[in-house]
Amino acid sequence: MPSLTETAAPANSAAADHVQSDPQAPLAQPTRQPVRAILESNALLMLVVVIGIFFAILPKSRGTFLSASNLAYLLGNQATVALLALAAILPLICGYFDFSVGANSALATVFAAGLMSHHGVPLGVACVAVIAIGGLIGLINGIVVTRFRLNAFVATLGMATLLSGIIQWYTGGQTILAGISPTLVNFGNSNLFGIPEVVYVVVLIAAALWYLLSHTPYGRSLYAVGANPRAAQLVGIRSARYATVTFVLAGAIAGVVGVLQLARTGSATASDGTSLLFPALAAAFLGATAVRPGFFNVWGTLIGVLFVAVAVSGLTLAGASTWVSPVFNGIALLAAVGLSTWLGRHRGRTS
């Protein structure tokens, strides 16, 4: 997996395309057995199904787990986590962590609420403004990391701390409740065909990212940068520029997350966003074990979100204590990082 292990480039990267287009290049090794490949790609999804069946028949959760209201609640609450996870995987594909996406989304929430509540800014203008601010924060991250070569972990963690301070200053530690557009709140709490409307926003953005990453030269170039920036540079890919763009996109998507979070809750608090960040990171790394094992990918990430959400929801309905959720998220993150790292190294040895 490029973002952790920096092993061989994925088969559809730009660098790999150069090798495969050479008629003198050696023939690729035979692919793995179809059954094994299918099981490896879909293991996480099958685990989600198994966990769902378990809680559906468990006496304590049987009556409510598969109810329409619980499923709608589950999907609506996880929409922001899913979108933040998609934001996180973009820099990860290029080999960089962005720990500021959670705080970036929290800043978008309080700024959007403040613009509408304190300054009377129209809903559309407020949304565009905070998404643009999120993209600008991402641009700063990208420049600091790629141009000034600061460690991405340290740089984005520092940015997250800075943003948390700005949130505290802007809100004064108070919750913003009044003056938020009823249209936005109604959207955040309405269903279409039994599915929360915010879920459709996530699906649209996920589909756009999937197409960008899987079906465009730009997406293949991102994977090439993550696999080997120097090799990508040699074939004409401007690695620093491509990586910077992923930070910008991640920041803008974090801004969208902030707007959706405001729509769901109808209020803005002085939160640092960590309540969304760690489940999102767990889902991102779990996603690197599914669909395209060893690579960060869109649909695998969404399956990772479902895995964490289904497990935590089932445990809660079964009567587990409140501390179970953060403990499970932490265990899932550790296990996902370890497994995705192993898959990336294994792929590097066998590719």
Kindly report the CATH number assigned to the domain that includes residue 78: 1.10.3470.10
With respect to residue 173, please indicate whether it lies within any of the assigned structural domains.
yes
With respect to residue 143, please indicate whether it lies within any of the assigned structural domains.
yes
Whether 5 shows a pLDDT value over 80: the answer reads no
With respect to residue 207, please indicate whether it lies within any of the assigned structural domains.
yes
Say which residues have a Cβ less than 8 Å from residue 213's Cβ, sequence separation at least 6: 93, 219, 222, 223, 297, 298
With respect to residue 314, please indicate whether it lies within any of the assigned structural domains.
no
d(Cα 284, Cα 4) in Å, to the nearest integer? 12
With respect to residue 93, please indicate whether it lies within any of the assigned structural domains.
yes
Query: Which domain, by its residues, includes 166?
Result: 61-272
d(Cα 52, Cα 309) in Å, to the nearest integer? 10
d(Cα 159, Cα 287) in Å, to the nearest integer? 25
pLDDT attached to residue 187 = 95
How many of the other CB atoms lie within 10 Å of CB of 311?
A: 21
Which of 21-30, 33-42, 63-72, 204-213 shows the lowest mean pLDDT across its residues?
A: 21-30
First-last CA distance in the chain:
12
Global pTM reads 0.85
Say which residues have a Cβ less than 8 Å from residue 255's Cβ, sequence separation at least 6: 104, 105, 108, 130, 131, 132, 133, 134, 135
Express each pLDDT in 128-179 by its tens digit.
Answer: 999 999 999 999 999 999 999 999 999 999 999 999 999 999 998 888 888 8
278 — pLDDT class (breaks 50, 70, 90): confident
Say which residues have a Cβ less than 8 Å from residue 314's Cβ, sequence separation at least 6: 51, 52, 54, 55, 58, 61, 65
pLDDT attached to residue 8 = 37
Give the burial class of 236: count Cβ atoms within 10 A of its Cβ; 0-12 exposed, 13-18 middle, 19 or more buried: exposed
With respect to residue 218, please indicate whether it lies within any of the assigned structural domains.
yes
Say which residues have a Cβ less than 8 Å from residue 97's Cβ, sequence separation at least 6: 91, 152, 153, 156
Number of domains within the chain: 1
With respect to residue 22, please indicate whether it lies within any of the assigned structural domains.
no
**Encoding tokens for residue 58?**
């468990």
Measure Cα distances from 16 to 92, 180, 231, 235 in Å: 19, 50, 10, 10
Which of 3-12, 58-67, 167-176 shows the lowest mean pLDDT across its residues?
A: 3-12
- Evaluate whether 227 touches 217 at the Cβ level (below 8 Å): no
Between 344 and 77, the more confident residue is: 77
Long-range contacts from 42-51, C-beta under 8 angstroms, 24+ separation:
42/290, 42/291, 43/289, 43/290, 44/286, 44/287, 44/289, 44/290, 44/300, 44/303, 44/304, 44/307, 45/290, 45/303, 47/307, 48/303, 48/306, 48/307, 48/310, 51/307, 51/310, 51/311, 51/314
| Gyration radius (Cα) of the chain, Å | 21
- Evaluate whether 119 touches 104 at the Cβ level (below 8 Å): no
Whether 1 shows a pLDDT value over 90: the answer reads no
Q: What is the mean pLDDT of residues 199-220?
A: 95
- Evaluate whether 84 touches 230 at the Cβ level (below 8 Å): no
With respect to residue 160, please indicate whether it lies within any of the assigned structural domains.
yes
270 — pLDDT class (breaks 50, 70, 90): confident
pLDDT attached to residue 13 = 37
